Chains A and B, each alone.
Chain A
Amino acid sequence: MSAATHESGAALLAGSFGAGFAWAFARDLTIAWRHPGETLLVVAFFVLVASLFPLGVGAEAQLLERIGPGVIWVCALLAAFLSLPALFASDHADGSLEQMALSPHPMASWVSGKIAAHWATSGLPLAVLSPLLGLQYGLDADTLAVLALALLIGTPVLSLLGAACTALTLGARGGGMLLALLALPLFVPVLIFGAGAAQAQASGLSALPHLSLLGAGLIVAAMSLPIAVCAAVRVALD
């Protein structure tokens, strides 16, 4: 047998990070594409709750402009949080999660792929839609841009943190409330820097420090949290 065939044969058996990631990402995206209801619900929730705040606090333009970035971020937090159980629940229920754990690809790879797909169907649409909501709150163009960018960088961190909490609570009593108690405190720094970025821009200051911190947070989270998610999934499957 030639060396080339021997190598590729070994690679097929070993599995790789890229292959595992791509496989899980494509799979989950396909499932979401076939059942668009979930993604649309996340978006609808986001818009609905963001529209509730002016009804609650009054439509005074200055007030709305001040609270806009924070409110939109909190709505993004809640929407991202509500879509978390779907990440592992159905796979755990029908046994696919156990099957995936047996895959030759490293667990961190397909876990990351699932998280990335989750973000693509929750955080990403929210970031893209945020300028529209920002207009409802009377935010100016620069602030809208920074807000969208901050959401783009921050929501993956939410997906990563949320995935760890979701994996930890698989099959636990207490359901969504337990997940909220675990995830929302961990979301606090993302909220602070994300909303802070837009608020800084709105007050004429530079949003760069906030965005840099968010970016750094994303890198650290992407490197470290998949390991925690893997550990949690293994605990759940034992």
Chain B
Amino acid sequence: MSHAFYLWMSYGATAIAVIVEIAALRARRARALRMIEEERDIEAED
């Protein structure tokens, strides 16, 4: 295994971790906003 392999695996994993974290954050925010929308709609029906 060349040294390049280890460097790529390390920097690559870090990049993926950052991307996954940011994606998860956006998904969490979207889910929270959707929940608020739904509850607002339910209340509007009353």
Within 8 Å by CB, do A and B touch in the complex? Answer: no
Q: Which A residues form the contact surface with B (CB < 8 A)?
A: none
Chain B residues proximal to chain A, CB less than 8 Å: none
